Structure 1
Amino acid sequence: MQEEVAEAIAKRDKVRTVPSGSYALNALGLSTQIPMKIVPLTDGSPREIKVGRRTIKFKKVSPKNLLAKGKVSRLAIQALKELGKENISEHEEKMILKMLHTEDKATLKQGIALAPVWIQKIMSKALHDVEK
């Protein structure tokens, strides 16, 4: 429900959003924990909205963080940032790569180009798998 509220607010305000951190991990199936606070990154106004017992906190970030077109690419970039360069297990990487295989090749390339270098290296593996 919170996701729909966040999407509706973003659409109404004509802003871009990307799920961050623990929500991205959950959306990709890397975590079973459902965050009590959804924190979408946005190029709009920062603010907090209560939805029942949960909170949606829109966090303003640089527009560069919101440019990836692919839904999976956006989630993968945020999930990997949340895990951190040194904390990604082989299992987590495989799960992310499996999800990235569902994305269109051109969209995936665009997302890779926007990611930090260490994330580009991981995401590029999905691209090489597709080209084999």
Structure 2
Amino acid sequence: MRWAWAVFLLPVPGLADPALECSGAGSQVEIGACVGQAEANVAAALTEAFGFAADAARDLDDVTGRALALPALEASQEAWKAYREAQCEAVGASYGGGSGTGIAVSSCRVELGRARVAELLRFVN
């Protein structure tokens, strides 16, 4: 099963705040780098999870003879990306341009990305 290892992409309970997870990194610059790496990891997980979900949707469309599941999934993903950007921009704006803005925006993307990975993997079953 191609997606069998996908459970490792799921969020870990207790690791809800990426900035808090990285707080042991030291300085704000080091925390920012740590959160940035977490964001990159989540971006890779999102790509994989979407691929798994798209494969499942494509298979469903093939079985039913209707092209409904894959286009709906693609539309959902685009809408989610727009939401993520707007939401994380709002989170960043709440920092008033302070030095923690970048960490807050990246943390927002990580949190929302982890949730989306879990949601995408639900399509695989």
Tell me, yes or no, whether TM beats 0.5: no
Q: Report the TM-score, using the length of structure 2 for normalisation.
A: 0.26
Q: Report the TM-score, using the length of structure 1 for normalisation.
A: 0.25
The structure with the largest alpha-carbon Rg is 2
Task: Identify the structure with bigger relative contact order (alpha carbons < 8 Å, sequence gap 6+).
Answer: 2
Higher helix share: 2
